[in-house]
Amino acid sequence: MNLKNITMKPEEVKRLLEKYYDGESTLEEELKLKKYFSRNDVPEDLAEEKEIFGFYIQSVAIPEPSVSFEKRIISAVDTVDHQSENLKHRKIFGIITGIAAAIVMLAGSYFFFIQRSEPRDTYSDPEIAYAETMKILYNVSSRLNQGTRALDHIGSMQEVTIESLETINKSASGIIEKMKPLGNLNKAMNSFDNSDKKN
């Protein structure tokens, strides 16, 4: 059968379409429909059907799976099963490690509080204790001062930034002041245009 120049009456086309949409058409009838709708002279009332079948004609057939497709699927499933098994082992190991850490912390706390000795006075002479305290406080103070020297540069940077912003604000104010005559000129031109339109 020559399907390139297939001609069918509109009634026959509609009957085949009805069979096609009901799922009762044969492969030969579907092929007839595809060839019919691949033509350029399809009636306007069947234009929507032409678009649908045009899509079917242009779409590529679904390729058959390769020979190793099933083996690859089974291998992927086995890999996922193996990974989930490893994950279970990791969870169990994490739980056991957490329990062991808790036991070590409890034992350490117990020995710390039981074996803890009362604080004792290391200096018998109060003047020596005072002198040692002052020495430690002076050391801490000097280290804090060294650490805050780096912040002095930040303060000077902030001052420069403030001065720059003030300069920009002055420049902007000057520009605005110089633009005011232009605003007055614009108002005058608008009023002149409005008076011309009225006349």
Residue 137 Rama label (left phi>0; alpha psi -120 to 50; beta): alpha
Label residue 23 left, alpha or beta by phi (over 0 means left) and psi (-120 to 50 means alpha). Answer: left
pLDDT, one tens digit per residue, over 98-140 is 888 888 888 887 777 776 655 566 777 878 878 888 888 888 8
Q: What pTM does this model have?
A: 0.29
Same domain, yes or no: 90 and 143 = no
Residue 5 placed within a domain: no
The answer to whether the CB of 29 falls within 8 A of the CB of 19 is yes
Domain count within the chain: 3
Same domain, 139 and 192: yes
Judge if 33 and 87 occupy the same domain: no
108-123 burial, b at 16+ Cβ within 10 Å, e below that, comes to: eeeeeeeeeeeeeeee
pLDDT at 3: 44
Q: Which residues of the chain have pLDDT under 70?
A: 1-6, 56-65, 115-121, 150, 196-199
Residues 197 and 131 in one domain: yes
Pair 133, 186 in one domain: yes
Does 4 map to a domain?
A: no
What pLDDT is attached to residue 2? 47
Q: Are residues 29 and 87 in the same domain?
A: no
53: nearest Cα among 24, 28, 17: 17
105 and 173 inside one domain:
no
Residues of the domain holding 23: 10-58
Which of 37, 58, 79 finishes a domain?
58
Asked if the structure places residue 135 within a domain, the reply is: yes
Residue 63 lies in a domain: no
Instruction: Give residue 120's pLDDT.
Output: 62
Residues 149, 199: one domain? Answer: yes
Whether 199 and 148 map to the same domain: the answer is yes
Residues 150 and 110 in one domain: no
**Do residues 139 and 103 both lie within one domain?**
no
